[in-house]
């Protein structure tokens, strides 16, 4: 249900229930948790790629797994507490960049997963739907926090309250995602981005990521201090020395993520 490969510093996770547009089951949660164990224990990791098999990225929670017609109350809160929130928290704390390659529709919790990417690249035919609005639920998986910060309150409210499908092109125009790429060479665009990040000075770009993401809960003065402390630490890294040497010697730097 989820494919995983780790090679040359790149961890590739592929949601793989294409007939159900990769809707997430309890089994997939377990598998994702095992995969994240492996990723977190990996020594020479440089980038994580999350994508979907088939024509969808992820259609959110599998709505067929626990039929609502079944007897007894449905405790969605428990599912979120035990499975969705831990998954989102672990993705938010990855030690390397997370690239989400949105190959097709991303709906409900699937849209949340897609938008967890530090860099989100979507195929032209992909789209984002806060389908919670269509089934009597509210946005979850951090979406209600993230969305107004990404695209502003009016657009966040519009998406959350109508469940309207937002095309990849519009998502890019709104600043919801990094890039919308043509379907025909989507994979090439994704691989180019993954290669770029895998060869990047990981500590520097992760310090950038953390500073930018955490800036939402800090004031300007605190952020200046964070930048000072970050540069102080980064100034001692291999990759900083390598970056400056390569520049002076007019050659390509060989970053090692150290």
d(CA 67, CA 64): 6
Which residue in 10, 39, 101, 109 binds ligand LHQ (CB under 6 A)?
A: 109
Paired sense of beta strands 10-15 and 2-7, if any: antiparallel
Stretch that binds ligand LHQ, among 58-66, 181-189, 203-211, 248-256 (CB under 6 A): 58-66
Task: Give CA torsion, residues 214, 195, 121, 54, to 10 deg.
Answer: -130
Are 177 and 102 in contact by the 8 Å Cβ rule? The answer is yes
Report if residue 76 touches ligand LHQ, rule: CB under 6 A: yes
Task: Give CA torsion, residues 37, 123, 46, 196, to 10 deg.
Answer: 180
Q: How far is the CB of 137 from ligand LHQ (least distance, A)?
A: 5
Are 9 and 198 in contact by the 8 Å Cβ rule? The answer is yes
Which residue in 107, 147, 159, 181 binds ligand LHQ (CB under 6 A)?
A: 107
Which residue in 51, 79, 202, 237 binds ligand LHQ (CB under 6 A)?
A: 79
To which residue do tokens 């949601």 refer? 15
Stretch that binds ligand LHQ, among 43-51, 76-84, 154-162, 205-213 (CB under 6 A): 76-84
Stretch that binds ligand LHQ, among 32-40, 95-103, 105-113, 195-203 (CB under 6 A): 105-113
Binding mask 186-215 vs ligand LHQ (x if CB under 6 A, - otherwise)?
A: ------------------------------
Which residue in 15, 47, 105, 120 binds ligand LHQ (CB under 6 A)?
A: 105
Are 116 and 91 in contact by the 8 Å Cβ rule? The answer is yes
Query: Which residues within the stretch 113-172 sit at the binding site for ligand LHQ (CB under 6 A)?
Result: 129, 131-132, 135, 137, 140
Query: Residue 168, by phi and psi: left (phi above 0), alpha (psi -120 to 50) or beta?
Result: alpha
Stretch that binds ligand LHQ, among 20-28, 35-43, 95-103, 211-219 (CB under 6 A): 20-28
**CA-based nearest residue to 132, from 64, 63, 183:** 63
Query: Residue 9, by phi and psi: left (phi above 0), alpha (psi -120 to 50) or beta?
Result: left
Q: How far is the CB of 27 from ligand LHQ (least distance, A)?
A: 13
Give Cα 128 distance to the centre of its chain: 14
For ligand LHQ, the closer CB: 11 or 14: 14
For ligand LHQ, the closer CB: 79 or 202: 79
Residues that bind ligand LHQ (CB under 6 A): 20-21, 23, 59-64, 76, 79-80, 84, 105, 107-109, 129, 131-132, 135, 137, 140
């Amino acid at each position: 249900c989820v494919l995983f490969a780790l090679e040359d510093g790149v961890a590739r996770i592929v949601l793989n229930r294409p007939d159900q547009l990769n809707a997430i089951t309890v089994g997939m949660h377990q598998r994702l948790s095992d995969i994240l164990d492996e990723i977190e224990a990996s020594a020479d990791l440089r980038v994580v790629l999350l994508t979907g098999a088939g024509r969808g990225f992820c259609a959110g929670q599998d709505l067929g797994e626990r039929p609502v017609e079944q007897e007894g109350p449905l405790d969605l809160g428990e599912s979120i507490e035990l499975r969705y929130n831990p998954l989102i928290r672990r993705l938010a704390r990855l030690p390397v960049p997370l690239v989400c390659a949105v190959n097709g529709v991303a709906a409900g919790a699937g849209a949340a997963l897609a938008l967890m990417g530090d860099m989100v690249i979507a195929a032209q035919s992909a789209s984002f739907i806060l389908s919670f609005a269509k089934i009597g639920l509210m946005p979850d998986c951090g979406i209600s926090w993230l969305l107004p910060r990404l695209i502003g309150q009016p657009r966040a409210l519009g998406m959350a309250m109508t469940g309207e499908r937002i095309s990849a092109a519009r998502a890019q125009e709104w600043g919801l995602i990094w890039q919308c790429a043509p379907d025909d060479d989507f994979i090439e665009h994704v691989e180019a981005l993954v290669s770029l990040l895998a060869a990047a000075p990981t500590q520097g770009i992760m310090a950038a990521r953390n500073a930018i993401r955490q800036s939402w809960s800090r004031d300007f003065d605190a952020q200046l201090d964070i930048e000072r402390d970050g540069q102080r630490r980064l100034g001692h890294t291999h990759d900083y020395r390598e970056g400056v040497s390569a520049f002076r010697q007019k050659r390509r730097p060989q970053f090692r993520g150290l």
